[in-house]
Amino acid sequence: MKDTNGPAADAAGPGQAPSKGSGRLRFFGEEFVLDTASGLFYRLTPAAHLVLQAHERGVRTRQFPGLLRQRYGIDAVSAARDVELLCNQMASLGLLDPKPQQCRQEAKV
């Protein structure tokens, strides 16, 4: 997923200011990420990679379920649940801002 075009790259849409990613994550292929603040490496699932890459490019949290639906062809409820779980887990690891309530509210369909 090194392509900068596509749904994750332009999901913020015209006229919308995307949120900024932390800029502290360094990706190694599609399987590993380095948190430059802590110095820890993490092995990622494909869905976690998609979400973290999108976050780093400034895609809004509420758009994550749509990315999962498009990539994996899953239903809206499953996508929302998966995003909530991913956001909570990544926030607990310090890879996303610790706003699990916000993820939960934005991920609802």
pLDDT in tens, the chain (109 residues): 333 333 333 333 333 333 345 678 899 999 999 999 899 999 999 999 999 999 999 999 999 999 999 999 999 999 999 999 999 998 898 888 765 444 554 444 4
Instruction: State how far the Cα of 46 lies from the Cα of 48, in Å rounded to an integer.
Output: 6
**pTM (predicted TM-score):** 0.68
Can you give the residue ranges of every domain in the chain? 46-109
